[in-house]
Structure 1
Amino acid sequence: MTRKLGLKLLSGLLLVLAGCSLGESEYLGGDLWAVNHASAAINNFSVNGYGGGNANPHGYGGGACCVMLPREWRPGILMKVEWETDPNTVENGKTFPGFVNREKFLAWKNNAESNFQRHSAIVPLPPYDQGLCALEVHFLPCHQVKVTTACWGYGSPNNPIKEPLEMKEPPVCPK
């Protein structure tokens, strides 16, 4: 056996042994979805630093891969949800000048962005025992958030979140 062949065999054996010793990961990756029950657009959101997409008012969004969650649920797991809203979604849609005139577009963009609002919430991760399908984040009025890992999408009788899609902001939000 040549020295070169021996080194290749030894390298291959070490790779196989290293792969066997790693075992299963403590975390699983799942899709990250948004359901927006409020009237302000969600420009973007994240959960524990994993980014999601946007969500229209009273609509759906996200669809980003992936958020990492523990393979096995345990009590006390908290999720930090951060998001940015456009409280003037309807008005900004009506006044959008298009992209033809750069100066008008930039003025519109700067004005719209100056009113964007950032929010965050810490929410418990609900139990799951049938594996992880996705993390569905529900944005409710008054900057409230709920999450679910249910394998049934929003609207299914099996989904644990039952709030209607089109919710109105109350005159005064609870603290």
Structure 2
Amino acid sequence: MKRCRSIAVLLCLLLQGCVESRPTMLGAPISGINHTSAAINQFSVNGGGGPNLGPYGGGPGSQMCCAMLPVQWREGLAVVVEWEKDPSPYDYATLSEPLFSDAWRARMKEMRKKNTRHRAVVEVAPYEKLGVVDVHFLPCDQVVVSAVAHLPGMPGYPYNFPRRMEVPSTCPTP
């Protein structure tokens, strides 16, 4: 009897190695699409960094790693998006001071004071299969997030924003 029990335990342990375990969370690449005239100097999704985005820039070709998301989408799934925005990215072209001089550093420091930092908790659009985490930066410091396995502009992609969006005369209040 003791021997049968030992063999049964051994067989159970061996069979556990045959069971395929599937992860519940995966690291998904992060991409951004900037629909505004500002520059997104840096951004993150749940702490994972995304690429810098110039005005009206970004898209599928610019990805970084990674945001941890569940393999299976669920109701109320949200991420934390943090970003730094430069509202006047073209002002750097007016710098006349010698590069990396004290005067140049002082002017850069003054220009960076215009940059603003933002944080938003954003619901993730429903997905059937986890894909690239796309963060869309919209006017009025609004963001939306998709993690579908489709490229922007393709059927099944949840958002269809124009690449260039103007800031409305009044922004919605959060």
Tell me if structure 2 keeps the 8 A contact 1:137–1:148.
yes
Q: Secondary structure at the match of 1:74?
A: coil
| Residue 101 (structure 1) shift | 4.5
Q: Secondary structure at the match of 1:174?
A: coil
Match of 1:128 in 2: 127
Q: Secondary structure at the match of 2:133?
A: strand
Q: Secondary structure at the match of 1:75?
A: coil
Cα distance in 1 for partners of 2:156, 2:78 equals: 23
Cα distance in 2 for partners of 1:113, 1:170 equals: 25
Cα distance in 1 for partners of 2:148, 2:20 equals: 29
Q: Structure 1 residues 96 and 153 mapped into 2: Cα distance closer, same or farther (>3 Å)?
A: farther
**Letter of the structure 2 residue corresponding to residue 66 of structure 1:** C
**Unaligned regions of 5+ residues in structure 2, if any?**
1-13
| Residue 157 (structure 1) shift | 4.3
TM-score of the pair, normalised by structure 2:
0.80
Match of 1:116 in 2: 115
1:58 lines up with 2:66 in the alignment: no
TM-score of the pair, normalised by structure 1:
0.79
Tell me if structure 1 keeps the 8 A contact 2:124–2:144.
no
Tell me if structure 2 keeps the 8 A contact 1:73–1:128.
yes
Q: Per-residue displacement from partner, 1:92-129 (whole Å, max 9, x unpaired)?
A: 3x223476342132123201211110111111112211
Task: State which drifts further: 83-92 or 19-28.
Answer: 19-28
Tell me if structure 2 keeps the 8 A contact 1:97–1:104.
no
Cα distance in 2 for partners of 1:152, 1:133 equals: 7
Q: Per-residue displacement from partner, 1:54-74 (whole Å, max 9, x unpaired)?
A: 111111165111111012111
What is the identity percentage for the equivalent residue pairs of Structure 1 and Structure 2? Answer: 40
Cα distance in 2 for partners of 1:102, 1:67 equals: 38
Q: Per-residue displacement from partner, 1:112-170 (whole Å, max 9, x unpaired)?
A: 211110111111112211x2121000000001111111222223344221110100111
More helix by share: 1
Match of 1:25 in 2: 23
